[in-house]
Structure 1
C-alpha cells in the first residue's frame, strides 16, 4: 500500500478519503446501499431471516423485561436498524395478546416504511427520547462506519484512505481521540501491515441509544471480538447478493466490520458493568435449543415429530459454533435485574 503524497487534496467524492466518510456515503447517502428497494435481506441473511425462533426469543426477552418492570401500562419495544421491519413484526406476532396490547412498537431505520407493515409500528429515523422497555439492535453496530488504521513500515499507525473503486493508500498518522482509542482497545504494535477498525464512533453511537433507555434493557447483537482476540488484519468486508465480496464504497454492496463489543460495553458511562455473552448462551437462556426430539415421537405423533425436528434444525443454525451462535450479545440493564441472569 502506498502513502498519500503530503498536501494532496481529498475534497471531492472521487478523491481518496477515510473509510468512515466513504462508508457513510456508500451506505446511507442518497443512493446508499441501505436505501435500495430490495433491503438488506436481498444481500445477506441475519438471525431474523434464519428462523422465526429468533423473533420468538426476543419476544420472550421482552416479556421478562415487562415482568421486571412490573407490567407497565405502556411497554416500549424498539427495533434498532429494523431493515424492512421483519423483527418487530415477528415479535408482535409472538407475544401473548395481553402483552401485545400494551406494547408501543418502534422500528428505527433510514429507509422508507415498507408496505404491509403492521399499522401499530411507529416507523422512525431515530429511537424515542425515553424508553421504558426493550431496545434491541440486531446487526446495527457493524454498519456504523469507522475509520481503518494500518501500520506503516516505520511502525506508525496511519489512516487508510480509499477511492470510490476500493483502491487504498495510507494517509496521515492516527492522532487524538482515535489514537487514544487504539492504544486502549486495539494496540497495533510495530508490525507493518497490521490493521484495526477504530471503533470510537460505535462506542459513541451505542452510548447514545442505550442512554435513551430510562427503565428496562438495551441489547446489541453483532459479529464481535474482544481485547483478548482482536483480528490482526481487521475484518472490513463487503456483501452483495448473498456473497462476501471485496469492500468497495460505491453503494452496491454492504460494508461491514466486526464490533469491538467490549469497548462499546464500557462506553455508556453507567457505574454497573454491562454484560457480554454469546448468542448461543443468550438464546439458550431464552429457551432456544437445538436438541433433537425423541425418536419415539416419530412413531406416536409423526407430524409433531417433523415440526419439532425442523425447529431443532433452525435452533441449531441460530446457535451454531463458527456461525450465528458465536455472535456477541451486549446487555445493558437499567433499573432492573439482568433478565438473562
Structure 2
C-alpha cells in the first residue's frame, strides 16, 4: 500500500492528482473551504489573535483546500496566516505563492491543522480470521491476488484486541489502525497551541464493519484495491482509536451546521424580489445539502482535537443542537 500510493510510480504522484479520480468535500463546493476558514478564525480568536497563525493542510492534494481557505479569510486574518500544504507529491505549478509546500508538517506552530481524507490513505495491514480461528495478516501480490500469512502478534494484536476485536468466524477482517493512530499523534504534535481536525470515512467500536472496508478508486469508480499504482487504495478510519484526551467526535453534518453551512432552501419570496440572488442561493443550498447529506458526505466523521486550548466543542458552537442523537 505504501509503494502503490507513494512510491516513485505511486498513485498520489500521478500528474492528474486525486481530483482526477474521486471527489472530496473540498471539490464538491467552495462552501467547505469557507467553513474551514471560519473555523480558523474561531481558533484565531480563542488564541488571542497571535502575530502569526498557521493553517496546516495535511494530505493537501494539489493545494485546493489551502487556496480556498486563504481566499475565504477576512483580510486581517489572511495577513497573519502562514499556510502549509503537506503532501508527498511534487508542488504543482501555479500554486499561490503564499502557500508553503512541504513533504511533512512543520513543528512548533500555533493555529489549525486540518486533515481532510488523509488518514484513510495512511497505509495499514489487513487481518483476516483463518479457518483455525486465528487472525492472520493478509498478503497481496502486485496483481491484487491475496493469501493469508502468519498470525498477527505484538502491538498489532494488542491494537486489534482493544479497538477491533475479531470473533472466531473465518473470513472476518479488520484494518489494523495502529499506524494511523501514530500518524495522527505525530501530526497533532506539530502544534504548540491550537486545534487539529481529521475528517474521514469513519467507524467506531459500536459499528465496525465485519469484513473491513479496504477498496480502490480509479477515474470516479470503485474498483479492486490492486497495489500497482493505478488506483487509490483506501480504508475507512477508526477515528475513536485515533482520538486523544479532550477530543470531540461528531459527524460532518453537525460540524458544518455549527460552522454555518445549511442546506435549507432560500425563501420563495426572494425569487420575485431578486431572481439572480435566488438562483445563487439555491445553488449554495444544493451544495450545502451535498456536503451534509445523510448516507453521504454528511456522515463523515470529524475528530476535533484541542492542543493547549479549550475543548474542541467550544469552537464548534451549539454542536449538540446539530446532532441527531
- Choose which of 242, 261, 280 in structure 1 pairs with 2:253: 280
Report SS of the residue matched to 2:77.
Answer: helix
- Choose which of 254, 257, 268 in structure 1 pairs with 2:235: 257
Deviation larger for 331-340 or 232-241: 331-340
Count residues in correspondence.
Answer: 314
TM-score (norm 1): 0.91
Report SS of the residue matched to 2:147.
Answer: strand
- Residue 91 in 1 paired to residue 69 in 2? yes
**CA–CA distance in structure 2, aligned partners of residues 199 and 256 of structure 1:** 12
Residue 315 of structure 1 is matched in structure 2 by: 288
- Choose which of 52, 55, 62 in structure 2 pairs with 1:77: 55
1:80-159 alignment runs, 5 A limit: 80-159=58-137
Report SS of the residue matched to 1:292.
Answer: coil
Query: How far 1:147 moved relative to its partner?
Result: 0.2
- Choose which of 268, 287, 294 in structure 2 pairs with 1:295: 268
Report SS of the residue matched to 1:277.
Answer: strand
What do the CA deviations read for 1:182-222 (whole angstroms, capped 9, x no partner)?
Answer: 00000111011000000000000000111111111000000
1:235-274 alignment runs, 5 A limit: 235-266=213-244, 272-274=245-247
- Choose which of 207, 220, 239 in structure 2 pairs with 1:229: 207
User: Could you tell me whether the CA contact under 8 Å between 2:246 and 2:306 is conserved in 1?
Assistant: no
Report SS of the residue matched to 1:217.
Answer: strand
TM-score (norm 2): 0.96
**CA–CA distance in structure 2, aligned partners of residues 237 and 322 of structure 1:** 18
- Residue 38 in 1 paired to residue 16 in 2? yes
- Choose which of 307, 313, 316 in structure 2 pairs with 1:340: 316
- Choose which of 271, 277, 282 in structure 2 pairs with 1:304: 277
What do the CA deviations read for 1:105-149 (whole angstroms, capped 9, x no partner)?
Answer: 000001111111110110001111112000000000000000000
Return 5+ residue gaps in structure 1 as ranges.
1-22, 267-271
